[in-house]
């Protein structure tokens, strides 16, 4: 696979770049973004993989989170993939809804037609994309993973399902218990089928109990988040971690909502959380 440069911008002494490539996991072309800090000009650097939420692309985080300044200071790269496959032949929601299909891949590997042909976002972000970027760019295989909302779900599940692959994990307002919320029911019933026992392998609260690795989880949640009670349910993650003895830092923030104003307010704390594990 080869990378085609789409655009580049100088930022805090490093480079923000967007690349296009053909994805074998997803059966389509994909675009992703990478921020290379100035330290990457002297040699490979650790990398944080960021997974965005419903309706987003690679551009939302890179343009709105304000992460580049701290990433440049720490010497950590950031890779931000898209949130779903795109392009001709990739099916979306038949009703045109925003919470399923295009922009809403949910970071699972779909098993049901017609979604199983393209919607294999877990394999893409965990295996294909890291192999590609770490082979082509000055990135070390010292990985952290983080994300927001649907992407927070994806980050937690990626770390829990793949022990040893990541050194750190965090999430903003994640969907922690998708088998018990409307967004999860809609996505999982279509991507994974009606057998709810198969859904448990893609649910952070279910995976915590048998996780073979106990990476500390950092989760930040705004208390003014309109999705908090129905979709996000951080208390379920808190209970699962308590029952399993899994380390969790759950930070609740009064007045903060689900937007990138919230993410921008606390992204530095997350980057420093990852730096503690990723840097020598």
Structure confidence at residue 230 (pLDDT): 98
Cross-sheet strand order for the sheet of 14-23: 4-11, 14-23, 28-36, 77-80, 45-51, 139-147, 168-172, 217-222, 248-253
From 122, 258, 273, 274, active-site residue: 258
- The CATH homologous superfamily to which domain 4-278 belongs is Alpha/Beta hydrolase fold, catalytic domain (3.40.50.1820)
Report field, pTM of the whole predicted structure over 0.85: yes
Distance from C-alpha of 222 to C-alpha of 259, rounded to nearest angstrom:
9
- Contact criterion met (CB below 8 Å) for 48 and 72: no
- pLDDT computed for residue 1 by the predictor: 63
**Which parts of the chain sit beneath pLDDT 70?**
1
Q: Does the active-site annotation cover 258?
A: yes
d(CA 19, CA 26): 16
Report the pLDDT value the prediction gives residue 280, as an integer from 0 to 100. 85
**Using CA atoms, how far apart are residues 225 and 56, in angstroms rounded to an integer?**
18
> Domain ranges in the chain?
4-278
Please say if 149 is a catalytic residue.
yes
User: Choosing from 11, 52, 146, 149, which is the catalytic residue?
Assistant: 149
């Amino acid at each position: 696979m080869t990378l085609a440069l789409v655009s580049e911008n100088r930022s805090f002494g490093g480079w923000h770049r967007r690349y296009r490539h053909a994805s074998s996991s997803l059966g389509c072309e994909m675009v992703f973004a990478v921020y290379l800090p100035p330290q990457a000009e002297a040699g490979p650097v650790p990398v944080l993989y960021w997974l965005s939420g419903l309706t987003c692309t690679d551009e939302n985080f890179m343009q709105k989170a304000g992460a580049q300044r701290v990433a440049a200071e720490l010497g950590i790269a950031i890779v931000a993939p898209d949130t779903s496959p795109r392009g001709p032949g990739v099916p979306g929601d038949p009703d045109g809804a925003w919470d399923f299909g295009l922009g809403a891949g949910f970071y699972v590997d779909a098993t049901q037609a017609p979604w199983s042909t393209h919607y294999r976002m877990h394999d893409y972000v965990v295996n294909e994309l890291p192999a590609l970027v770490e082979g082509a760019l000055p990135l070390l295989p010292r990985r952290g993973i983080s994300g927001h909302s649907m992407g927070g779900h994806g980050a937690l599940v990626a770390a829990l399902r793949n022990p040893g692959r990541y050194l750190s994990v965090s999430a903003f307002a994640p969907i922690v218990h998708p088998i018990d919320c409307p967004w999860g029911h809609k996505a999982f019933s279509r991507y994974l089928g009606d057998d709810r026992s198969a859904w448990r392998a893609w649910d952070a609260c279910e995976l915590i109990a048998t996780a073979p690795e106990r990476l500390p989880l950092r989760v930040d949640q705004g208390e003014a988040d309109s999705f908090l009670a129905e979709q996000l349910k951080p208390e379920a993650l808190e209970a699962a971690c308590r029952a399993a003895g899994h380390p969790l830092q759950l930070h609740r923030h009064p007045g903060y909502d689900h937007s990138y104003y919230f993410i921008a307010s606390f992204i530095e704390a997350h980057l420093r959380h990852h730096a503690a594990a990723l840097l020598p």
